[in-house]
Structure 1
């Protein structure tokens, strides 16, 4: 059972977040991403919040892993007085990643490190679980020996890592989780909060872009994640519900599930062969969307409309080039990291914290691709994307 769960979570998180092949990382150091420029630092004075430019005029639509109603990360705030109190504590934090070698993880780490630096909190370790539950359990044990006050983490496997996290909680460590919580741990008792993107909202964004590109009529296919996991499930539910309820002249005529993120091209090719009348395809994240893109090009379907979720390098390049991928809903991992750090600090100060927090969704198209990249990663887009956008 544990091996099955580990395989599932490995595929899931690798599929959602990996933009490049896994490489061996030293577990004591931060990873290198595809962006060589250093992410922008946070302001040195004033209250600490997530990026004020993130739109705040939309509701958070996602729910947490246990059905919790979401609180927007835009509401989180640490005053200068609170920051000064945190600095007096000389606290230590550790960042325990599931995998640390892609843009999403690097942006999370950048946001956490910048926020902790602003608070005078020392980051004593950044670990890379390499998608292995046993490695992550070992990382937690190693980190606990360094006596941290805070651990921010994303479980590789919420079942087989739970005991290690519970040990940390029982030792008085403030735990803040990314996207999911270990099984059996309780918010407010064992951990501070879970912070995620608004995955449901990003599914809505992908649907709205699809509808606009098709002028609200046509036939489409959906490639969904064939596993019962709330993050990807919410994305697909949001996309399909928005299409069905708001755009009755758009018909979903084909649905195919995916477990291997690298099988996107094969699945999309079969879908296009069986349904040559398709006007568009939605893929649940950017990696299988790259496969859909390849299948469409092979089939000579440059007229196909593709939308997805997650601002990966390859789909961003196609959007910038006015290609087949017309847009997506994007996560904001840097600001997710800032939000996690704020919640950890609030817990240290004894402030009550919400059990589930989400960062607002972001609509990304060719019109705002460069601005969106900078908002997502807090650094300028790679030169190849900037050139394509021009």
Structure 2
């Protein structure tokens, strides 16, 4: 377990004006509350810190604690639900004032989350809801809406008729909502046919790259591949290039510099539903302070998602788009 205690010095992302605007409300707190906030001990059981999503979540927690006050202890489960459950139990034993969680597998860690709540620890989740656990606040994207928007993009791009494949992410209820959103859209496009599909398994032996390789070998005439997350879309883009299918259309969900670079470079990856991971984490910390100060916190907070295409990246690849307020500065508007 790695312990990180953040004081006055913190990264450049914390200086962004959008984050400062959200944190500004803390300046209105009575001095006694601000003094108490500085002494609060927080813990974060992170399901992962890899990829752009994990990095942005970690950055959001780090900057928010640095700005709003307190100390932060973090753990990283590396996508292993058993490890994360053990880490949650260990963090609970240290009696933090609040516990932040980004679920590696929301169903699998639900018992550990319930134990934390039963121990009297306020729990705040980012990215995914934990079924059966009454946490204080969950900050996440509209997963169903992201599935709707990305599938609509494909259906329009192929003229409402064609063959598509899909790569799904059924690991938890939140992520599976993306597939349900995709299916909802297809009800309005009877000319679009799903000819094959593949569901990713964390413990499986097949990578998304291998899956899309197989899809293109078996179905060389498909028009598009809908992917439930950007990792699959990026690997699928590599498969498309290897197969000489530069005309293929791929979409993903997550956002971040890797996907943005592929989109900006005229590859088959044409769209990323860019989630506000940084804001999810930042809002968790903000509302932990609010709840601990005796004020209300929302049960569910839906953070912005941007439908990022090439035209939005002409001025460069923004790594800070999900800092609160930064999307507006870029001229982006939330899609869902």
Fold match, TM over 0.5?
yes
Return the offset for 1:302.
1.0
- Aligned equivalent of 1:238: 181
Task: Go from structure 1 to structure 2 and tell me whether the alpha carbon gap of 1:85 and 1:329 turns closer, same or farther (over 3 Å shift).
Answer: farther
Task: Go from structure 1 to structure 2 and tell me whether the alpha carbon gap of 1:194 and 1:183 turns closer, same or farther (over 3 Å shift).
Answer: same
Secondary structure at the counterpart of residue 22 of structure 2: coil
Number of residue pairs aligned between Structure 1 and Structure 2: 313
- Aligned equivalent of 2:102: 154
The counterpart of 1:197, out of the listed 116, 133, 141, is: 141
- 172-181 or 224-233, which deviates more: 224-233
**TM-score normalised by the chain length of structure 1:** 0.70
The counterpart of 1:39, out of the listed 13, 18, 30, is: 13
Aligned alpha-carbon RMSD (Å)? 3.2
1:43 and 1:314 map into 2 onto residues whose CA distance is 24
Contact 1:158 1:181 in 2 (8 A): yes
2:179 and 2:219 map into 1 onto residues whose CA distance is 20
Return the offset for 1:108.
1.2
Task: Go from structure 1 to structure 2 and tell me whether the alpha carbon gap of 1:203 and 1:340 turns closer, same or farther (over 3 Å shift).
Answer: same
Return the offset for 1:364.
0.4
Return the offset for 1:180.
3.5
The gaps in structure 1 that reach 5 residues or longer are 1-25, 31-36, 50-76, 381-390
Task: Go from structure 1 to structure 2 and tell me whether the alpha carbon gap of 1:155 and 1:239 turns closer, same or farther (over 3 Å shift).
Answer: closer
Contact 1:307 1:326 in 2 (8 A): yes
- Aligned equivalent of 1:135: 83
The equivalences for 1:267-346 within 5 A come to: 267-346=211-290
Secondary structure at the counterpart of residue 94 of structure 1: strand
1:202 and 1:85 map into 2 onto residues whose CA distance is 42
The gaps in structure 2 that reach 5 residues or longer are 6-10, 327-336
Secondary structure at the counterpart of residue 376 of structure 1: coil
Matched, 1:376 2:322: yes
For CA contacts below 8 A with separation 6 or more, give which structure has more relative contact order: 1
Return the offset for 1:83.
7.4
- Aligned equivalent of 1:251: 192
Contact 1:149 1:172 in 2 (8 A): no
Return the offset for 1:44.
10
The counterpart of 2:163, out of the listed 220, 223, 235, is: 220
The counterpart of 2:45, out of the listed 76, 81, 96, is: 96
- Aligned equivalent of 1:23: none
Q: Deviations over 1:18-59 (max 9, x none)?
A: xxxxxxxx63359xxxxxx8424255997526xxxxxxxxxx
Task: Go from structure 1 to structure 2 and tell me whether the alpha carbon gap of 1:43 and 1:312 turns closer, same or farther (over 3 Å shift).
Answer: closer
Q: Deviations over 1:234-275 (max 9, x none)?
A: 212223323442x55x51241312224753233333333443
2:291 and 2:242 map into 1 onto residues whose CA distance is 53
Contact 1:174 1:192 in 2 (8 A): yes
The equivalences for 1:91-130 within 5 A come to: 91-123=40-72, 125-130=73-78
Return the offset for 1:371.
5.8
1:352 and 1:180 map into 2 onto residues whose CA distance is 21
- 326-335 or 106-115, which deviates more: 106-115
Secondary structure at the counterpart of residue 39 of structure 1: helix
